[in-house]
Amino acid sequence: MTAIVDDTSPFGAYRPNAAQRRLYRLMPALYRGGWTGKRIFGRLRWLDRKLASRGIADVERFGLRWRLYRAGNVSDSRLLLRPDSFDPVEMDLLLRRVRPGFAFVDVGANCGFYAIRIAAAGGRVVAVEPHPGMFRRLQFNAGLNPGHALRLLQCAVGDRQGEIRLSEDARNLGRTRIDGAGAVTARMRPLLDIVRAEGLDRLGALKVDVEGFEDRVLVPFLKDAPEALLPGTIVAEHTWSDRWTEDWGQIAGERGYREHARTPTGNVILIRDP
């Protein structure tokens, strides 16, 4: 599968038409409106696709510019159609922690929803995304919002250095996962190596969303990182915890973390008190 990417047309080339803009103003409230609202939301999502002559939309969300793709990536769709319901607990907590010197590492950065917003709020951000097509989308969105301390790395993160294979999900690029039978190759690097190579001497927060590979990212980092590099907050996906081979949460507890929340969107938030 080849991801659809247009990173050459200028922003505005895919501006939604007037009917779509009216839909986008209406849909977030419908999604929050319980079962009935969600049913209407689903019908309007179908209508949006019918109204769209192309599968791409250039929009502003949270005061930032984005090029989003209607099909094939859930994160793009959420940011386009229901932005205020996209990981609201996680984002509110992280944005409240941003202050001068706040460093954030985003492992599995996808279209840049976390990385670009936190960089725009004043954080120093390292965003890591292994999928080549998704990385180009991330690059384009970052380029639409210049002037921030945002560093992009195209690689996977895991428990060793080397080359790995990625297995794609045609319905959702965000579900790309490390799989020995996959068709896409990528370089893998340990998280601690990345943090040190980027010159980070302190971490404010870390987000890890890698479709069941979270333990391979976090276990070696939590075991080996010095105190100064342990982030105050960890946000990690736990939807695919059945794929874990080690309980990284237990190791986190041994390093002083406590579970703060499990969110409706499938993430666990851990806090480490100073």
Residues 170, 94 share a domain: yes
Instruction: Mark whether 207 and 245 lie in a shared domain.
Output: yes
- Same domain flag for 102 and 37: no
Q: Which residues are 68's β-sheet partners? A: 57
- Based on the number of CB atoms within 10 Å of its own CB, is 178 exposed (0-12), middle (13-18) or buried (19 or more)? buried
Domain match, 112 and 62 both: no
pLDDT digit string (tens) for the chain, length 274 residues:
567 899 999 999 999 999 899 989 999 999 888 888 889 988 888 888 777 767 899 999 999 999 999 888 999 999 999 999 999 999 999 999 999 999 999 999 999 999 999 999 999 999 999 999 999 999 999 999 999 999 999 999 999 999 998 888 877 888 887 777 777 899 999 999 999 999 999 999 999 999 889 999 999 999 999 999 999 999 999 988 888 999 999 999 999 999 999 999 999 999 998 7
Residue-range definition of the domain harbouring residue 203: 88-272
- Separation of alpha carbons 252 and 269, rounded Å: 11
Angle at 171 between CA 167 and CA 176, to 5 degrees: 25
Spatial separation of the C-alpha atoms in residues 266 and 43, rounded to whole Å: 25
Residue 92 shares a structural domain with residue 54 = no
Is 7 a member of any domain?
Answer: no
Nearest Cα neighbor of 272 from 215, 206, 220, 212 is 206
